[in-house]
Amino acid sequence: MQLPISIVIPTFNRQALLVAVLPSYIQQQCSEIIIVDDHSTPPLDETLCRACSPSSNIRVIRNSRRLQQPGSRMAGTAAATEPYILFGEDDVFLEPGFAESLLSYLQSGEFDMVAPRRITIRSHPANLRQIPRGAEASTAAQIVTLGDFTITTKAHPIRPLPVPFLHSNALMQRAAVNAVRFDSHYSGNAFREETDFYLRAGLAGYRMAYVPGPAALHYKGTEAIYGGQHKPGVFSLLWYEYHTARNNYYFLRRFAEDPEYNPYCNHPLWRTAGMMVRRAVHYPARLLGETHSGRKVRSIVIPRGREAQ
């Protein structure tokens, strides 16, 4: 039996990587998978995507212009037909049973939006001897930090933990997405668009929890550098960091007006400057990790027999 879930996967210029992760979404047994091509050049090959699923439950819609992540999420939600939305990504694999596990928490009636741990990997899951696991967490404070609005995604909650925000690979009611909506003002890399969405959802009364269960596996190998919001090189890094600063400043200004979040969002200019200084420490490593003598490193290898799943 198919689950009453519409999976929405925004993508941009990552066709090969998208095709590699798609089988992990197909095996979730959800009613439909909606791929939102955010005006890729060249356009995403729909035939190649549909060939991954004999059941033909994959639909591809193409934005007539770049809408970035917030607009693409809303475009996919508008095309969805099921009562629940699971947001996927073109560089994230889902462990078996991911969607079914999350659905059980929503159908309990206790929560409106849920997500499990999200673990960084460097190659295809089938090529890993062991998927790394995070430490157990028994309190929300071990997972989310309001001071800088970060989430320890690899933490393993021992029970459902109510939290003020989640990571991007979450299951939620479609009605909640349409009511809260992702803010298209977050441009470029759309930094903070997810945190903004969740905080506004919480203020509107929607209940969120970080829950035990199968994980999302975030691939961070070489192919993830190309397409999406990333390109190799110094200019791309400056472009990315400019939008990080711009979006963070907008985010802090917005929530500084709310009494609940004002202690963490006041002085948005100085807080943003401090964040960018901390990020700058990692710039050399990021540049070295993207290229090595002009050759790709840490390339994804799709196991034999998986290409046509």
Residue 120, pLDDT above cutoff 80: yes
Q: What is the spatial distance between Cα 275 and Cα 122, in angstroms, rounded to a whole number? A: 26
Q: Cα angle at 222 between 293 and 118, to 5 degrees?
A: 145
Give the model confidence (pLDDT) of 4-22 as tens digits.
999 999 999 999 999 999 9
Q: Is the pTM of this model over 0.85?
A: yes
Total Cβ atoms within 10 A of residue 267: 11
Give the Cα separation of 176 and 116 in Å (integer).
19
pLDDT bracket for residue 279 (50, 70, 90): confident
Check: CB of residue 215 under 8 Å from CB of residue 116.
Answer: yes
Q: DSSP code of 43?
A: P
Q: Which pLDDT belongs to residue 224?
A: 63
Contacts of 215 (CB under 8 A, 6+ apart): 95, 98, 116, 117, 118, 119, 131
Q: Can you tell me the mean pLDDT for 77-82?
A: 97
Mean pLDDT of 223-231: 61
CA 137 → CA 8, 116, 161, 180, 210, distances in Å? 29, 12, 9, 29, 10
DSSP tag of 215: P
Q: What is the per-residue pLDDT for 286? A: 56
pLDDT of amino acid 291: 44
Tell me the per-residue pLDDT of 232-244, one tens digit each, with 9 for 90 and over. Answer: 667 777 888 999 9
* Stretch 270-290: mean pLDDT: 77
Q: What are phi and psi of 260, to 5 degrees?
A: -70, -35
Distance CA 9, CA 26 (A): 12
